Every structure is written in C-alpha cells, then in structure tokens.
Amino acid sequence: MSENQALLRIEGQDIPLSIVQGTEGEKAIMISGLRQKTGYVTLDPSFMNTAACFSKITYVNGEKGVLRYRGIPVEELVKIGSFVQTAYLLVHGDLPDEEQKRSFSALLNQHSLIHEDMRHFFDSFPRGAHPMHILSTMINALAAFYPNVDLLSLAEDIEISSARLISMIRTMAAMAYKKSIGEPIVYPRRDLSYCANFLNMMFDSPVAPYEIHPETVRILNTLLILHADHEQNCSTTAVRTLGSAQVNLYATISAGISALSGPLHGGANQAVVEMFRTIRKVGSVKTFLEQVKDKSNPQRLMGFGHRVYKTFDPRAKLIKQECHNYLSRMHINDPLLDIALEVEEAALNDEYFVSRNLYPNVDFYSGIVYRAIGIPENMFTVMFALARLPGWIAHWREMIGTDTKIVRPRQIYTGHSLRHDERNWR
Ligand code: ACO
C-alpha cells in the first residue's frame, strides 16, 4: 500500500482508499467508490466530517483562526479597504489591475438599475414583510427579466451576470428598505462608489439630503469584505447543491439568501442585538448566561460558537476593533456595546463556554456597527447577503467549471420494513 492510501478492513476484505491532500496540508480519504466495492456508505449527519468538494476560493483554519480569500489574509484585504476589489478577487481569482478595476466598476454602474417593471413588485409585499423574504423573491424573479439563464449562456456571460447581481442586490436592498418606511425610492448614482451609493440609496431623502461620511463608507467596506466568503457554510452549500442540478444562477442565489436567513446562520446578527436588548431588560448578564447554559432552555448565546472556529473568529476580532474605533470617531455611545463587552468577558471566563471552545463569531459585534451606521435591525441579514454574494457567485462558477455531478447524498433508512395495509377500504 502506498503512503497515499488508507486501508479499510471490512468484513474480512481490505479496501485501499486514496488519500488526497490540500495546499495547506489538510488530508481527506476518498470514499466515492466505497459502496460499489463493499455495499457500505459512510454516515455523517450535518456533514460534521465531510469535505464536499475541492475548492480554490477560501481557506479557513478553525483551530488557528485563519481566513484567506484566494490566498490573501482578510486582514490585508481590510487594509486595501475595497469591497468591490474583494468581490473581483473572489469571482475572478486575483485582485484586479487598474484597467480591470475600471471596467468592473463600469459594469457595476451599467447594471445598477433594476428593470422599471420590477419596482412594482415591491408594492405587492405586505407591510412588515421581512426584507430577506423580499430579497430572495426579487433575486429569483431576475431570471424572468434576464432570460439568458441557461448554463451555457451564463458561462459565456458570467462577467455581466455577476456584475448585474452584485450591483442590483444593493439597489434592491435599499429599495426594499425605502418601501418598508414609505419613503420615495432613491436611484443609484454613477458618481458614487459601491458603498457610498448604497448608503445614499438607503438614507437620502427629498427633505433631508444624506451626507456621506468617509468613515461610514470605510467601515461598511470592512464589514462587507469580512462577510464576502466563508467556504462551505450552509448557504454556500445550498448554492452549490442547487447549482449542481444546473438550476439558473438567480434561483441558486435566491436559495442561498433563504438559507442565510436562518437564525443559526446569517440571521444571527439580528438575533444578537435582540439578545443584548433582552439582557439589558433582565439586568444581569450572569442570569442570562445561566439560562443559556440550561439544557432544558433552547436559548443560545447568539453570536457565539462556530462549526469551524474553535478559537477566536478572526472576523469577530477585526469587527470588534473597528466597532470601537468607529463609535468613538463618530461620537456614538451605544449602551448595547457595553452589554456586548460584558457578555463576551463573562462567557470567555465561564467553564461552559471555555470547555466547548465557544468564542464570539462574526455576528457578535457586526449588529452594533450596523446600528451605528443607521441600518435597521431587520436589514442586518440583508447586509450579510449583499456581502456574501461574490462568494456565492465564485462557488457557483467554480462548481460549473469542474466536472461536478448532481449532489445527491445517500441515507440510512430507519422506517418500517415492508408492510401492507390490512384494512378493507371497499
Ligand atoms: N450558546 C450556548 N451553547 C452553545 C452555543 C451557544 N451559542 N453554541 C454551541 N453550544 C453548545 C451546544 O449546546 C453543545 O453543547 P453539548 O456538547 O453540551 O451538547 C456544544 O456547544 C456544541 O454545539 P453544537 O450545536 O454541536 O455546535 P455546531 O457546530 O453544530 O453549531 C452553531 C454551531 C450553530 C454556530 C452554534 O454554535 C450556535 O447555535 N451558535 C449561536 C448562533 C450563531 O451565532 N450563529 C452564527 C454562526 S456564524 C454564521 O453562520 C455566519
């Protein structure tokens, strides 16, 4: 047996299985042919120990707290400070040169307006509808307006399709917000950068022009960069799974948005702020943590814990720092930040959280920053979707570019054995 093989002994049979190794040394045992050779499948509920694909996009080391996009540490990308360049990096594989930057920005500008007929869709949602539901519906509807959605056309048209999505999701998000508060829609402007444009569409009004503060543009870029991809998480897996059935790109992204809306995934950022408010009402961090640790109580400490990170989430570290800087530079005093700091300190010194390697994740401080920017709580997860879009597109693109078969896991059936209905129906 070679070094690149593992041996599985099963029912007296020795089955050699290939070992593959990633760029950063992580190893995996290939089991694709196992059922054919032995009749056995592997069982791994919730994919706790299963790599579903090879990918060149994002590297996460959960033990060391490392996150890199296309090899570049997120800490460096935050210093560059441009979400648009990060989006380009994820989708295309390298940071853009000057010419590529110019033409990508021009494409984003060109596709920033949504089809005028789509504007009326916003009128049909009930007041109070969650913007994530509106967003996933609107993105799905794009396939009807831009019908070149079959795989071949999209593959040829990928520059335009990705620019359209990245640009339009921002317009749609701002429109959904304006509709929800009953204010006139603000159109995108070509003279503004991606984040400045978004802020202007969100907050400008005919009676109170919005002043775009460079610090706000900077921190928004940082937040979007830090959320732009995170390898095979729940929503990205949804995107890759749908994509494997050759579902059109828009429907695929819409499914990603739906997956992200769950409170255990992207919906956590909204839940975290709600939780801080509850703790403020309860008046005691200690009492709240006792409730969270009580197994008969389904309540979790939102914004804590991660499937992959068993140490500090590097995104949480950066956002915490940025959050402090932004609030002090903008002279904002948010009592929820004090609660967050108190909760973090108490949890990091509590045996329950320490022994389970539970640390703050990306969502723990992001909501405080969004609040400071003026973004309402029900838009927090929309902000996450907007940021994650380049990552989803990159994964979809990578997947259709490889020889991927339709995703179709096996199961272990545990229901009734064959039985018949003995009743006489006649
Ligand atoms: N609060 C209290 N206990 C927790 C928490 C938490 N936030 N997270 C995990 N635990 C406990 C579990 O109860 C379990 O305890 P046990 O071993 O005594 O049964 C143990 O830690 C392991 O937890 P699992 O649920 O098995 O861990 P998993 O990897 O499946 O879950 C998840 C990860 C979903 C993120 C979880 O930590 C959680 O629910 N966190 C709160 C929600 C949240 O912040 N989600 C955002 C994640 S980041 C993102 O998606 C962008």
pLDDT digits (tens, 9 = 90+) for 112-141: 999 888 988 888 888 888 889 999 999 999
Whether ligand 1 lies within 6 angstroms of the CB of 367 is answered as no
Q: Write down the pTM of the prediction.
A: 0.93
* Cα(388)–Cα(109) distance, integer angstroms: 19
Q: Work out the burial of residue 277: count CB atoms within 10 Å of its CB; fewer than 13 is exposed, 13-18 middle, 19 or more buried.
A: middle
Cα 248 to Cα 108, 146, 227, 396, distances in angstroms: 21, 11, 24, 10
In this predicted structure, what is the pLDDT of residue 36? 94
Q: Ligand 1, closest atom to CA 304?
A: 7
Ligand 1 pocket test target in 237, 297, 304, 309 with most atoms within 8 Å of CB: 304
Q: What is the pLDDT of residues 90-117, one digit of tens each?
A: 999 999 999 999 999 999 999 899 988 8
Distance of CA 182 to the CA centre of its chain: 28
* Cα(299)–Cα(294) distance, integer angstroms: 9
Whether ligand 1 lies within 6 angstroms of the CB of 387 is answered as no
Q: Is 363 annotated in the active site? A: yes
Whether ligand 1 lies within 6 angstroms of the CB of 115 is answered as no
In this predicted structure, what is the pLDDT of residue 50? 96
> How far does the centroid of ligand 1 lie from the alpha carbon of residue 298, in Å?
11
* Cα(34)–Cα(29) distance, integer angstroms: 11
In this predicted structure, what is the pLDDT of residue 407? 94
Q: Is 81 left (phi over 0), alpha (psi -120 to 50) or beta?
A: left
From atom 15 of ligand 1, which residue's Cα is the shortest distance away?
356
Residue pair 277/368 in contact (Cβ under 8 Å)? The answer is no
> How far does the centroid of ligand 1 lie from the alpha carbon of residue 82, in Å?
31
In this predicted structure, what is the pLDDT of residue 122? 87
CB atoms within 10 A of CB 142: 25
Token pair of 15 as six digits = 């089955």
Q: Ligand 1, closest atom to CA 234?
A: 50
Q: Is 403 annotated in the active site? A: no
From atom 27 of ligand 1, which residue's Cα is the shortest distance away?
307
> How far does the centroid of ligand 1 lie from the alpha carbon of residue 244, in Å?
29
Token pair of 392 as six digits = 């989803």
From atom 12 of ligand 1, which residue's Cα is the shortest distance away?
356
> How far does the centroid of ligand 1 lie from the alpha carbon of residue 364, in Å?
13
From atom 45 of ligand 1, which residue's Cα is the shortest distance away?
264
In this predicted structure, what is the pLDDT of residue 146? 83
DSSP 32-77: TTHHHHHS-----GGGTT------SSEEEETTTTEEEETTEEHHHH
In this structure, what is the dihedral angle of CA atoms 186, 187, 192, 194, given to the nearest 10 degrees? 90
In this predicted structure, what is the pLDDT of residue 403? 72
**β-pair partners for 69:** 58, 72
> How far does the centroid of ligand 1 lie from the alpha carbon of residue 306, in Å?
6
Whether ligand 1 lies within 6 angstroms of the CB of 237 is answered as no
From atom 11 of ligand 1, which residue's Cα is the shortest distance away?
356
* Cα(121)–Cα(111) distance, integer angstroms: 19
In this predicted structure, what is the pLDDT of residue 1? 57
Low-confidence residues in the chain, pLDDT < 50: none
Residue pair 88/96 in contact (Cβ under 8 Å)? The answer is yes
In this predicted structure, what is the pLDDT of residue 126? 86
Token pair of 47 as six digits = 């994919």
Token pair of 136 as six digits = 């996933």
Residue pair 2/17 in contact (Cβ under 8 Å)? The answer is no
Whether ligand 1 lies within 6 angstroms of the CB of 266 is answered as yes
Catalytic residue among 363, 403, 416, 421: 363
* Cα(331)–Cα(3) distance, integer angstroms: 60
Whether ligand 1 lies within 6 angstroms of the CB of 307 is answered as yes
Nearest Cα residue to 345 out of 409, 286, 273, 265 = 286
From atom 8 of ligand 1, which residue's Cα is the shortest distance away?
305
In this predicted structure, what is the pLDDT of residue 158? 79
In this predicted structure, what is the pLDDT of residue 404? 79
In this predicted structure, what is the pLDDT of residue 161? 84
Q: What percent of the chain has pLDDT over 90?
A: 79
Token pair of 415 as six digits = 């229901």
Q: Work out the burial of residue 347: count CB atoms within 10 Å of its CB; fewer than 13 is exposed, 13-18 middle, 19 or more buried.
A: buried
Whether ligand 1 lies within 6 angstroms of the CB of 301 is answered as yes
> How far does the centroid of ligand 1 lie from the alpha carbon of residue 323, in Å?
24
H or E stretch including 19? strand 13-21
Distance of CA 284 to the CA centre of its chain: 32
Residue with structure tokens 């597109």? 393
DSSP state of 113: S
In this predicted structure, what is the pLDDT of residue 119? 87
In this predicted structure, what is the pLDDT of residue 59? 98
Whether ligand 1 lies within 6 angstroms of the CB of 292 is answered as yes
Q: What is the pLDDT of residues 235-273, one digit of tens each?
A: 999 999 999 998 888 999 999 999 999 989 888 888 999
CB atoms within 10 A of CB 312: 16
